Amino acid sequence: MPKPHQNNRSGKPHGKSPGKSRGRPQGRSQGKSQGDAPERPMGKLTPRGAALYLLTQILGEGRLLSELLGQGALDRLEPADRARAQRLTLEVLRNLERADRVLKKHLRKAPPLRVQNILRIGAMELCTGGDAHGVVNEAVALTAANKRTLGLKGLVNAVLRKVAGEGEAEWAKLRTPRLPRGLRDPLVMGYGAEAVAAMEQVHLNGAPLDLSAKGDAAQLAEAVGGALLPTGSVRLENAGQVSALPGYEAGDWWVQDAAAALPAKILNVKAGETVLDMCAAPGGKTMQMAAAGAKVTALDLSEARLARVTENLARTGLSAEIVAGDALEHQGSYDAVLLDAPCSATGTIRRHPDLPLAKDGSEFGALIDLQVQMIDHAMSLVKPGGRLVFCTCSLLPDEGECQVEEALERNPEWQVDRESLNLPGIEAGWVTEEGGLRLRPDYWGDQGGMDGFYMACLKRKA
């Protein structure tokens, strides 16, 4: 799982590196319409009402969907309704640009955020085949349920009835929604407009479910009816309820994006080696290394997040030493260290479309500076002759290629282990100039893509 926007110490192009200027995404103002109050789910909660609450928190308060779900925002709903509310929220976020374009010609000015989000939910549903009667009626009811917006129920009714009549045809002509300009411009500079457009298409499509097998991946693929990917992960297009899949209770696998599974593979730990997973939660990489027989220490600042690591280890029958603490203060000596550093998480937008909308990029600089401290400290924990994998789920070269190049300049006793990338499924075009691995969402685009990641295996001289 990603480690999005954690300002703490435990977080988380072809043939050459992308552009390496120190340009960083520019912050942008989200703002709220005057008179808006934070939307709270009141009374009987419906999937649309829950989606409205989530959208208003994300777009108005800058909160992350994962945070809201972790705090029980949907716990009052039955499982099927919970899944529908989350699906509605994700689809609106992925199609926000389209929904706003469809609505714009019917509005003289932007309504309060709560009403704007009601209209966005309605427009998205109506333009993608939703039942007009049910969609419009509940949109009006949601508008009337709050005294601040009661007077706008007529506007909502009129606008959505117009959208019901012509919106679907217009929707089909609209371009693939683009990333916010403050993030898109640096990515175009680094990868080119065509590549970024391909990433945006993958973001719109959403992400399938990837699994890492504790044992034989081919057997797991057959058991769950999934596809075996070239790098050894198993992919499911329509997974349904995860805990109902074969092998869940037996602990035969865990959820882990195919890109996120590669750092532990290139570290290639051996049975009996001492290994530090420096920012371990939720534990996918810890489990990979424990399954290989290594003696793993799983370190994370958050005890709550470490509880998930403990649960995952128990379910899979694997073991690791669990340590809660500040990564920059941790001491020890290890054969290998895996540092999945806290970062912008810009590589995970296909699964987390709220990220570029809830966050404005203002914290990226602090995260980049923290990564510098963390990679240097991680190097100090590795025995002579040992190795370190540095990785981030980011598309920004400042959080990947630049970090490794500059770390090697500061620490001359280290070098890149290019041979670590000689693994099944890793394509030559993914390897960067300095010997790292740059993964992008549009890679395997016709199969559902992958998370954007950067990783490199570094070796300390004996």
Answer whether residue 380 shows pLDDT above 90.
yes
Q: How many CB atoms lie within 10 A of CB 345?
A: 28
How far apart (Å, rounded) are the C-alpha atoms in residues 452 and 442? 9
The pLDDT tens digits of the residues spanning 31-48 come to 444 334 444 555 689 999
| Residue entry with tokens 């009374």 | 43
What pLDDT is attached to residue 435? Answer: 95
DSSP state string for 293-324: T-EEEEEES-HHHHHHHHHHHHHHT---EEEE
Answer whether residue 24 shows pLDDT above 70.
no
The pLDDT tens digits of the residues spanning 114-126 come to 999 999 999 999 9
Burial call 50-77: b when 16+ CB within 10 Å, e when fewer: bbbbbbbbbbbeebbbeebbeeebbeeb
What pLDDT is attached to residue 17? Answer: 38
The pLDDT tens digits of the residues spanning 214-272 come to 999 999 999 999 999 999 999 999 888 898 999 999 999 999 999 999 999 999 999 99
What pLDDT is attached to residue 162? Answer: 95
Q: Which domains does the chain have, with CATH numbers?
A: 1-23+187-205+258-462 (3.40.50.150), 47-171 (1.10.940.10), 208-256 (no CATH)
Residues, the chain, total? 462
The pLDDT tens digits of the residues spanning 298-321 come to 999 999 889 999 999 999 999 999
Helix (H) / strand (E) element for 209: namely strand 209-213
Q: One-letter amino acid identity for 359?
A: K
Over residues 282-290, mean pLDDT: 97
The pLDDT tens digits of the residues spanning 173-185 come to 999 999 999 999 9
Q: Which residue, 234, 238, 241, is CA-closest to 214? A: 234
Q: One-letter amino acid identity for 275?
A: V
The share of the chain scoring above pLDDT 90, in percent, equals: 85
Q: One-letter amino acid identity for 244?
A: A
How far apart (Å, rounded) are the C-alpha atoms in residues 225 and 246? 10
Mean pLDDT in the chain? 90
| Catalytic residue numbers, as ranges | 393
pTM of the predicted structure, to 2 decimals: 0.88
